[in-house]
Amino acid sequence: AIPGALRFLANVQETDKIIYPPAKHAQMICALYENFGIKPVIGNTSAEAGNKQPTIMEMSVNNKLSLALIRFLQYGEDFEQRIHETLYRVKREGIQVVQVRLNLEDPQTSIVAEQLEKKGFIFTGILPGTTGGDLMSMQYFNGIAVDYDAIHVFSNRGQELLDYIRRHDTMGGIN
């Protein structure tokens, strides 16, 4: 269930791409971009309150895989409430994994990612070059322990990412 950079194999050549990753993960995110031949520039994140509009998100649930996928189209003033409601639903329905995709080209993403980490989400990779912009992937493991030793990767960078994810999974897969 570790997506993102481990699966992304596109040949993208960009320079001076401005991204807004959380400071905690900026070094790893830049290393992943460089692996794709992209040299990102870290933008200045505003600590302002953000958008006064409501949060707009898309959520799909695959009950067979016990996976919820959330993509935020707009972060709004009700972001924390929407996450709270979503996690309540996930726990009530027994969904095991929630994958969130955040737009790295949005200046509010670094702030939103920090809020998600406080709720138990962990950084799991990037998806550069999607039609909706470059995305950062975060996951929430609902009461499951990830067996990181059972995951096999095919590159040194992939192993570095897996080790990084494991180090940052402070709940040990149990949220």
Q: pLDDT tens digit string along 18-43?
A: 999 999 999 999 999 998 888 999 99
Find the mean pLDDT for residues 87-104.
94
CB 57 within 8 A of CB 73: yes
Of 100, 113, 106, 101, nearest in space to 45 by CA: 106
pTM, whole model, 2 decimals? 0.85
pLDDT of 121: 95
Residue 46: which pLDDT band, with cuts at 50, 70 and 90? Answer: low
Task: Please give the DSSP secondary-structure letter assigned to residue 48.
Answer: S
**Among residues of the chain, what percentage have pLDDT more than 70?**
85
- Chain segment 110-152, per-residue pLDDT in tens: 999 999 999 999 999 999 988 878 999 999 999 888 899 999 9
CB 18 within 8 A of CB 105: yes
Largest CA distance in the chain: 44
| Domains recognised in the chain with CATH numbers | 4-168 (3.40.630)
Cα angle value 159/138/10 (rounded, 5°): 60
**Among residues of the chain, what percentage have pLDDT more than 90?**
66
Number of other CB atoms surrounding residue 61 within 10 Å? 16
